[in-house]
């Protein structure tokens, strides 16, 4: 697949807070862009990410814009895209999803260009709640080579993706679009490891919705290496067990060597 040009997001992305970058303290061999949840910012994860103890990974924690959010009564808060509801049959903000994904992909593309063509650095994306939903959208856009609206996405090699307490947006559009994918896109989907972690008593993003997300990724969408971890008694938060599992998973797919 030929690389699509990297274009600036229009209108310009205007977050309330700039990207937070946690630099590696050992040889840099991986970069992870991690996306916060609705109403939060990159700063909210600045103290959590170091707990992974992965000194070879550069973590980039961008922040969403402040925007009206429908499920918040239309009042503005930091959000990657509008959320009209949380359920498999809810109408979705497709333009907002694609715009946010383009912003995250531009971060990855710039990191790759800065590292150079011979760099051993690998790239991954992850997120919590709404950030997890966007992380999955970034992963499917890069893997399939196009956004939900059908426009081409830039070519950035993605090694892994993770979603914590999140959901998959645009699954119907993605399933229909898969019928027209070339063999290369389907092959990339089959080899991309995706981790989905979800608490069984999540009061915000229902556990069954999260489980359906993993099943849809693994089945109809062709991401056969999707792994779903359930955490008994955990709500809409990140437990110590999840942190340990995410760390192990990142080490498996983004090892130091």
CATH number of residue 176's parent domain: 3.40.50.1820
The verdict on residue 89 lying in a domain is yes
Domain contains 197? yes
Q: Other CB atoms closer than 10 Å to residue 91's CB: what's the count? A: 9
Residue 3 lies in a domain: no
Q: Tokens standing for 7? A: 């274009």
What is the model's pLDDT at position 5?
40
* pLDDT confidence of residue 208: 95
The answer to whether position 12 is within a domain reads no
Determine the length of the chain.
257
Q: Which positions are catalytic?
A: 129, 202, 236
List 33's β-bridge partners, or say none: 60, 125
Decide if 7 is inside a domain. no
Q: Indicate whether 9 pLDDT > 60.
A: no
Say if 45 falls within a structural domain.
Answer: yes
At 4 the pLDDT is 41
Per-position DSSP letters for 160-218, written without gaps between them: EEEEES---SSHHHHHHHHTT--HHHHHHHHH--EEEEEETT-SSS-HHHHHHHHHHHH
pLDDT of 11 > 90? The answer is no
Check: pTM over 0.75? Answer yes or no.
yes
- Domain hosting 244: range is 20-254
Domain assignment of residue 44, yes or no: yes
pLDDT tens per residue, range 84-134: 988 777 788 999 999 999 999 999 999 999 988 888 999 999 999 999 999
- Give the whole-angstrom CA distance, residue 98 versus residue 101: 5
Cα(5)–Cα(8) distance, integer angstroms: 10
DSSP bridge partners of 122: 30
Q: CA-based angle 31:32:35, to the nearest 5?
A: 150
pLDDT band for position 6 (cuts 50, 70, 90): very low
How large a percentage of the chain has pLDDT more than 70?
Answer: 95
pLDDT in tens, 184-241: 888 999 999 999 999 999 999 999 999 999 999 998 899 999 999 999 999 999 999 9
In a domain, 97, yes or no: yes
Residue 2 has pLDDT above 70, yes or no: no
> In total, how many domains does the chain have?
1
pLDDT category of residue 242 using cuts at 50, 70 and 90: very high
Of 197 and 7, the structure prediction assigns the larger pLDDT to: 197
Instruction: At 6, list the tokens.
Output: 């990297």
Percent of the chain with pLDDT over 90: 73
């Amino acid at each position: 697949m030929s690389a699509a040009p990297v274009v600036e997001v229009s209108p310009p992305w205007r977050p309330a807070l700039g990207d937070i970058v946690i630099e590696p303290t050992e040889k840099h061999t991986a970069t992870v862009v991690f996306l916060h949840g609705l109403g939060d910012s990159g700063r909210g994860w600045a103290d959590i990410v170091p707990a992974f103890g992965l000194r070879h990974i550069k973590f980039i924690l961008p922040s969403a814009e402040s925007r009206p959010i429908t499920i918040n009564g239309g009042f503005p808060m930091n959000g990657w895209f509008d959320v009209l509801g949380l359920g498999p049959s809810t109408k979705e903000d497709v333009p907002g999803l694609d715009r946010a994904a383009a912003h995250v992909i531009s971060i990855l593309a710039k990191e790759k260009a800065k590292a150079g063509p011979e760099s051993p650095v690998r790239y991954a994306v992850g997120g919590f709640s709404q950030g997890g939903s966007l992380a999955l959208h970034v992963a499917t856009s890069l893997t399939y080579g196009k956004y939900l609206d059908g426009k081409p996405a830039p070519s950035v090699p993605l090694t892994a993706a993770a979603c914590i307490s999140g959901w998959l947006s645009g699954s119907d559009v993605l399933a229909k679009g898969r019928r027209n994918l070339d063999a290369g896109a389907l092959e990339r989907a089959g080899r991309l490891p995706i981790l989905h972690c979800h608490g069984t008593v999540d009061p915000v993003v229902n556990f069954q919705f999260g489980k359906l997300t993993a099943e849809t990724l693994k089945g109809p969408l062709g991401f056969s290496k999707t792994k779903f971890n359930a955490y008994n008694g955990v709500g809409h938060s990140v437990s110590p067990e999840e942190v340990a599992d995410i760390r192990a998973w990142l080490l498996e797919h983004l090892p130091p060597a």
